[in-house]
């Protein structure tokens, strides 16, 4: 298999608070057909790095980590994991089918990517960063720092089903369908673009 992985960290800035742009990296993840992790806290960002490297190594593709401003500027005590045993670099390995994308190979690799994304989406449905809690006929979907805001104001006994999405792409459809079952109303709270909202609408259309 592939040894080593690659994470692209893109710190988004809804606001904007400390930059000149509010662009949403989740769009770029969809355009590039790459998995993206969306941490809701410094602790979760730390945990996601390990999972993102493992995913990248397994599939031989870059993985995006998208912390937003309040996560990046937050402070938290974190229990450190054991030091990683890093493999020795083996140098560049020539592989024309992977690095030289002529039209025929482009078509083949595109098929591989399209088959890979639903597979990763199924894995994401069972991943601990995506959480389904609560009961009721109304539901809230949220992600990133918005999840922390929702938890702060939502009473513990609120009759609401809550879906936290930590891996917005590929969308964890299985878990989302479990969340949607029996709901009469859904509220989506996210920063900044309606990425989760559109994925939910697409899912509802696909499943009638």
3-state secondary structure 182-198: CCCEEEEECCCCCHHHH
Phi-psi region of 182 (alpha: psi -120 to 50; beta: other; left: phi over 0): left
The answer on pLDDT for 175 being more than 90 is yes
- What is the Cα–Cα distance from 173 to 155, expressed in whole angstroms? 27
Task: Compute the average pLDDT of residues 26-47.
Answer: 97
Residues 59-70, mean pLDDT to the nearest whole number: 95
Average pLDDT of the residues of the chain:
93
User: Looking at residue 86, what is its pLDDT?
Assistant: 75
Judged against a pLDDT cut of 80, whether residue 2 lies above it is answered with no
Which tops the pLDDT comparison, 100 or 11? 11
- Contact between 63 and 69 under an 8 Å Cβ cutoff? The reply is no
Q: Which tokens sit at 39? A: 């941490």
pLDDT at 190 over 60: yes
- pLDDT for position 3: 61
Classify 147 as helix, strand or coil. helix
Q: How confident is the model at residue 95 (pLDDT cuts 50, 70, 90)?
A: confident
């Amino acid at each position: 298999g592939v040894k080593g992985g690659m994470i692209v960290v893109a710190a988004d800035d809804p606001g904007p608070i400390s930059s000149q742009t509010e662009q949403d990296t989740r769009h770029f993840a969809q355009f590039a057909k790459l998995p993206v992790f969306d941490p809701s806290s410094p602790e979760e960002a730390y945990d996601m790095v390990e999972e993102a490297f493992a995913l990248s190594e397994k599939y031989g593709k870059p993985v995006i980590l998208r912390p937003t401003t309040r996560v990046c500027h937050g402070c938290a005590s974190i229990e450190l994991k054991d030091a990683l045993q890093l493999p020795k670099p083996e140098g560049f390995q020539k592989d024309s089918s992977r690095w030289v994308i002529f039209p025929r190979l482009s078509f083949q690799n595109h098929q591989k990517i399209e088959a890979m994304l639903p597979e990763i989406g199924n894995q994401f449905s069972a991943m601990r960063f995506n959480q389904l809690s609560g009961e009721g006929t109304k539901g809230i979907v949220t992600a990133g720092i918005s999840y922390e805001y929702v938890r702060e104001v939502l009473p513990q006994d609120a009759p609401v089903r809550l879906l936290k999405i930590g891996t917005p792409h590929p969308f964890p459809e299985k878990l989302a369908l479990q969340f949607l079952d029996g709901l009469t109303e859904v509220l989506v709270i996210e920063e900044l673009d309606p990425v989760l909202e559109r994925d939910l609408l697409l899912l509802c259309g696909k499943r009638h």
